[in-house]
Amino acid sequence: MNSAPGQSGLIMDEPLLWEKGKTGRNGMSIPESDVPAAPIPDKLCGNGPDFPDLYEVEVVRHYTRLSQWNFGVDTGMYPLGSCTMKYNPKINEKHAAAPELAAAHPMLGDEYCQGTLRIIYELQQYLAAITGLDAVSVQPAAGAHGELAGMLIFEAYHRSNGQKRTKILMPDTAHGTNPASAALCGYKPVPIKSGNRGILNVGQIRELMDEETAGIMITNPNTLGLFEENIREIAEIVHEKGGLVYGDGANMNAVMGIADMKKCGVDVLHLNLHKTFSTPHGGGGPGAGPVCVVDKLAGFLPSPRVEFDGTTYRLEAYRPESVGRMHSFHGNYGVLVRALCYILTMGAQNLKKVSQYAVLNASYLKVKLKEHLHLAYDRPCMHEAVFSDKKQLEFKVTTLDIAKRLMDSGYHPPTIYFPLVVPGAIMIEPTETESLEELDTFIEVVKQIVTEARTTPELLRNAPQRFKVKRLDETQAARKPCLCG
């Protein structure tokens, strides 16, 4: 493939950690003891775990080599839909790792933590400003954790009204965490089918919403990359029945400074700081999923939050109606520092540009790619567009094959087979940090792969070829699990 950036080069093989090392080596300094040895309670003592002893060079090489088998945003385009794999600024790493913050102990009194508390406070304020909502807790450690906080707030709110509601409306495009989070709070998801326009329709909600139902969880823009145009009307219906509207804000990257979540009728919303706000989350995390609410729900937020009286930052006092503590301390604090740095670096105008360019990039890809891949919903999209393998099935080429071939070409594949409502979904989210040139190359590569699907489909079915391993047998892994070496 000529235009594709992917090529073959040298990488290094490397065994598992415990296939290396020799007893007695050491990989880090341990201070000499300056105190007498104390007697130890033999009965309680063990032998310590069977860890290999490596020296520093072995450790460094081990991970340097492992890293060669990986692909990150710094390596190339990573259009993993719903995940907003944008550039993670280097300067933010430096601030999060600053010794004063890295060493800050969370059990010290407020007077010793003014700096760390201020960071939380400012972030609370700015996230409120960005969403249009009124109050924020930064405790949730990821998006799903934010959803759980939200569902707990739903539950606490209804309980405060003397109600115990049992159901929740759940669009079929919802991310799996939504029903799972709702279930944790005892809510049974009532599925709502996407209409043929890919968005919720008012009639359906009117039909399904009742006073047993706690409310609705809406992802907006939704996981098809479409703005839920009827969200206000839907919210009105839900509110009329005493319900609340949960907004899954994972896709906030599309609408910063453009949509106001409060005006949309959202009561509770989580943000994914590791997506929209550019914090790195290698290998799966850490994330941060602050939960934002309208005024009337502020009292239910997880506690403690940070308050500011114009002079001093403080952890707020016990709030009896709060859903309580969600995390050992203040959530994934280091992630919060990075997110604040990002917001301060961008300012309001650039954050709006982020959303404009994110949507511009996705729309451009949508228009250019729909000639080659089947576009699930041909409507104006937001930050992502969902295609499928419909056109390729006749050649017995699947979404998975296309994804693996993209890998050989030097791209991380899009999110595949999600959302479930689009069979063989290929969900592409370029983010705003990709350039027009990069998009054009990607389009070119997809075009070539689509051609190959027709002319040399085995190229796709045998992909990937350029990696340390060929296609891995996931079935075998699940059938005879080997989870521990």
Partner 1 sequence: MRYLPHTEADIQVMFDAIGVKDFEELFQTVPEACRYDGEMEIPEAKTEWNLNRYMGKIRSMMPVSPDHNVLIGAGRYQHHIPAAIPSVMGRSEFLTAYTPYQPEMAQGTLQGLFEYQTLTARLLGVDVANASMYDGATGLAEALLMGLRVARKKTRIAISMAIHPHFREVVATYFRPTDYEIIELPFLKDGRTDLSSLAGEDGIAAVALQSPNFFGVIEDMEAAATAVHDVGALCVSCFTEPLAFGLFKSPGSCGADIVCGEGQSLGIPVSFGGPGLGMFGCRDAFVRNMPGRLVGETTDLDGKRGYVLTLSTREQHIRREKATSNICSNQGICTLTATMYMASLGGTGLRKLARLNYDKTEYLKKALQETGAECCFSAPTFNEFVVEFKNDFSTTWKKLMERGIVAGLNLGRFYPGFDNRYLFCVTETVSKDVLDMVISEVEK
Instruction: Tell me which stretch binds partner 1 (CB under 8 A): 69-77, 239-247, 290-298, 369-377.
Output: 69-77
Task: Round to whole Å and give the CA distance between 139 and 122.
Answer: 14
Q: Which two tokens stand for residue 407?
A: 């890998």
CB contact at 8 A, 418 and 425: yes
Tell me, residue by residue from 442 to 481, as one string, x for binding to partner 1 by CB under 8 A and - for no binding: ----------------------x--xxxxxxxx-xxx--x
Instruction: Give the SS3 label for residue 450.
Output: helix
Binding of ligand PLP by 194 (CB under 6 A): no
Give the one entry of partner 1, a second copy, ligand PLP, none that residue 8 binds, where binding means its C-beta sits below a cut-off of 5 to 8 angstroms depending on kind: a second copy
Cα–Cα distance for residue pair 120/81, rounded to 1 Å: 29
In the bound complex, what is the minimum distance in angstroms from residue 293's beta carbon to ligand PLP? Answer: 17
Distance CA 183, CA 200 (A): 22
Q: Which of residues 123-142 bind ligand PLP (CB under 6 A)?
A: 142
Determine the Cα–Cα distance for residues 227 and 220; give it in Å rounded to an integer: 6
Member of 92, 177, 278, 361 binding ligand PLP (CB under 6 A): 177
Site string for a second copy, 385-424 (x = CB under 8 A): ----------------------xx-x--------------
Indicate the Cα dihedral angle 85, 91, 96, 101, nearest 10°: -170
**Single-letter amino acid code for the residue at 168:** I
Rounded CA gap, 118 and 124, in Å? 10
Choosing from 4, 77, 135, 142, the residue that interacts with partner 1 (CB under 8 A) is: 142
226 is written with which tokens?
A: 């479409």
Residue choice 69, 203, 423, 456 for contact with partner 1 (CB under 8 A): 69
Q: Which is nearer to ligand PLP, 172 or 295 (CB)?
A: 172
Residue with smaller CB distance to a second copy, 55 or 364 = 55
CB 361 within 8 A of CB 434: yes
* Partner whose binding site includes residue 403, from ligand PLP, a second copy, partner 1, none (CB under 5 to 8 Å by kind): partner 1
Whether 296 contacts 239, CB under 8 Å: no
Distances (CA, A) of 300 to 303, 313, 324, 391: 8, 21, 8, 49
Among 88, 131, 219, 399, binds ligand PLP (CB under 6 A): 219
Q: Name which of residues 75 to 94 contact partner 1 (CB under 8 A).
A: 75, 78, 80, 83, 85-91, 93-94
Residue 82 binds which one of a second copy, ligand PLP, partner 1, none, with CB within 5 to 8 A depending on kind?
A: ligand PLP
Residue 104 contact partner, candidates partner 1, ligand PLP, a second copy, none, CB within 5 to 8 A by sort of partner = partner 1
Check whether the bond before 49 is cis (ω within 30° of 0).
no
Whether 103 contacts 295, CB under 8 Å? no
175 is an interface residue for ligand PLP by CB under 6 A:
yes
H or E segment and range at residue 224: none
Cα gap 353→363, rounded to integer Å: 15
Please tell me the count of residues contacting partner 1 according to CB under 8 A: 211
| Binding track over 193-222 against partner 1, x by CB under 8 A | ------------------------------
Looking at residue 370, its amino acid is K
Which two structure tokens, joined as six digits, stand for 353?
A: 């540009």
Q: x/- binding map, residues 274-293, to ligand PLP, per CB under 6 A?
A: -------------x-x----
Q: Could you say which of 124, 137, 173, 181 contacts partner 1 (CB under 8 A)? A: 181
**428 counts as binding ligand PLP under rule CB under 6 A:** no
Return the amino acid letter for 176: G
> What is the spatial distance between Cα 150 and Cα 181, in angstroms, rounded to a whole number?
9
Which residues does 135 contact at the CB level (< 8 Å), separation at least 6? 124, 128, 292, 293, 294, 295, 297, 298, 301, 305
Residues near ligand PLP (CB under 6 A), total? 13
Which of 226, 234, 237, 293 contacts partner 1 by CB under 8 A?
Answer: 226
Q: How far apart are CA 62 and CA 20, in angstroms?
A: 9
Name the minimum Å distance from CB 29 to partner 1. 4
Instruction: Please tell me whether residue 23 binds a second copy under the rule CB under 8 A.
Output: no
Report, in Å, the least distance between residue 203 CB and partner 1: 17
Shortest distance in whole angstroms from residue 435 CB to partner 1: 4
CA–CA gap between residue 172 and residue 120 (Å, rounded): 35
Task: Dig out the tokens for 454 from the structure.
Answer: 């027709």
Site for ligand PLP in 338-377 (CB under 6 A): none
The residue at minimum Cβ distance from ligand PLP is 143
Site residues, ligand PLP (CB under 6 A): 82, 142-144, 175, 177, 219, 223, 248, 250, 272, 287, 289
Site residues, a second copy (CB under 8 A): 5-14, 20, 22, 55-58, 60-61, 64-65, 68-69, 71, 74-76, 87, 89-90, 407-408, 410, 433, 435, 437, 466-468
